[in-house]
Amino acid sequence: MRVVVAAATDIGQVRDGNEDTYVAEDPLFALADGMGGHRGGEVASRIAIETLERLFATGEGTLPELVREANRAVFERSMSDRAVSGMGTTLTVAVLEGDRVRLAHVGDSRAYLLRDGELRQVTEDHTLVQRMVTEGELTEVEAEVHPHRNILIRVVGVEPNVDVDELEMTPRPGDRLLLCSDGLHDMLSNQHIARILTAERDPDTAVRRLIADANAAGGVDNITAILLDFHNGGGAEARDPETETRTILQPGDPRPRTATAGTVGRGGRAEPTGPAEPGSPPRPSARPLAARIRWAKLATSIAIAVAVVVIAFVGLRMYLDTQWYVGVSDGRVAVFRGMPTEVAGFDLHHVVVETTIPAEDAQALALYRDLGEGITANDRAEADAIVERIREDLAANGAFPEPAP
């Protein structure tokens, strides 16, 4: 089977940015239509596609597993980055595998198959209105114009896990498989899409016309289309229409990427029903275990050292509070609490009572010569008694008048 591919994305007529992202790299074809305020939609669709591409390249895991991993990647980013909290994206994937096509799908982007001139929607929209149609509460026609037709009930990235629709088909020569975002199928009826796919046999031209007609119909959303044409023969050829595909080449990345400029919230679409986390949980520490243990040990040592110093100070304080002495303060005899000394510039004492007795007079008596160094007492009463004795001795020596009452 030979496959010819055309793919393009367009910002549309209304939006400031493109929140659709796609990859068209044989054998992996996928599109994601992001949603979420600020830059959320753009980030969600990009993470989904990049995760898918990266995991697909490893060759491990089934397609639904890859989609669930993409879901987890978007969800984790949404949890850790407040700026994109609550973002989500659709994800529709087609993988060519021999003569088969495997599909995986979440959301309201669509895969259509044009076979023998008939267009059939292959995927089911994970929208509220589609569920109502399935349950018989709404007709297909009512659903197409329902004001809340864009409310999604299944999205990639808003919950830790997601159910993934899995489909498989065997293409026949002449089949056309179209993957598109709602910016296309919301603007154009299925009949309109079928008409273009039937009339325009060249895939580039067909994709270009799909996008041009969606824009002409209002272009209220970003428009993305990937068209796979199946022919007899081998391999896939990817062709991007030059005019419609907005691609940029990034340094070191030889592959064209979807251009995504600044972005706005998805006006026409309600936020997905998911856990709207108001805050972001802290990121798990990336520090190696050994480093964390070292820090824990250091922290413990510091805590112990601080405790020792505190206990020493408290103990010293309590001890000093039991110590009394009589000494000199501002030239006068005084009663002190503490010790008549200082340590590292800190006085270990304070004045409790300052008397009117001149220290000079007391020191003139041999008994009190060393008053400046402090005469220690066992308690306050003893200190007071020393002061009283000084007063008496001075009076007895006539050097000092009787104490004032």
Residue among 10 and 182 whose Cβ is closer to Mn ion: 182
Near Mn ion by CB under 5 A: residue from 1, 12, 28, 33: 33
**Residue type, position 69, single letter:** E
Residue among 265 and 358 whose Cβ is closer to Mn ion: 265
Contact window for Mn ion (CB under 5 A) among 129-137, 163-171, 217-225, 376-384:
217-225
- Min separation Cβ 182 and Mn ion, Å: 4
- Min separation Cβ 84 and Mn ion, Å: 17
* Torsion angles phi and psi, residue 78, rounded to 5: -65, -35
Instruction: Decide: 117 and 198 in contact? Cβ < 8 Å.
Output: yes
Helix, strand, coil percent content, the chain, rounded in steps of 5? 35, 30, 35
Query: Residues touching Mn ion: how many (CB under 5 A)?
Result: 5
- Min separation Cβ 150 and Mn ion, Å: 8
Instruction: Fill in the per-residue mask, 150 to 189: x = in contact with Mn ion (CB under 5 A), - = not in contact.
Output: -------------------------------xxx------
Contact window for Mn ion (CB under 5 A) among 24-32, 220-228, 315-323, 387-395:
220-228
- Min separation Cβ 203 and Mn ion, Å: 22
Q: Read off the tokens for 183.
A: 């910016």
The owner of tokens 């239509």 is 33
> What is the C-alpha separation between 187 and 197, in angstroms, rounded?
15
Residue among 88 and 327 whose Cβ is closer to Mn ion: 88
Name residues whose C-beta falls within 8 Å of residue 341's C-beta, 6 or more positions apart in sequence.
348, 349
Cis upstream peptide for 27 (omega within 30°): yes
Residue among 31 and 197 whose Cβ is closer to Mn ion: 31
Residue among 148 and 294 whose Cβ is closer to Mn ion: 148
Name residues whose C-beta falls within 8 Å of residue 268's C-beta, 6 or more positions apart in sequence.
150, 220, 221
Phi-psi region of 106 (alpha: psi -120 to 50; beta: other; left: phi over 0): beta
> What is the C-alpha separation between 53 and 192, in angstroms, rounded?
32
Angle between helix axes 190-199 and 203-216 (nearest 10 degrees) is 150
Residue among 157 and 340 whose Cβ is closer to Mn ion: 157
Near Mn ion by CB under 5 A: residue from 221, 229, 240, 271: 221
Contact flag: residue 125 with Mn ion (CB under 5 A): no
Contact window for Mn ion (CB under 5 A) among 28-36, 159-167, 301-309, 347-355:
28-36
Element (H or E) spanning 299, and its range?
Answer: helix 289-321
Using CB under 5 A, list all residues that contact Mn ion: 33, 181-183, 221
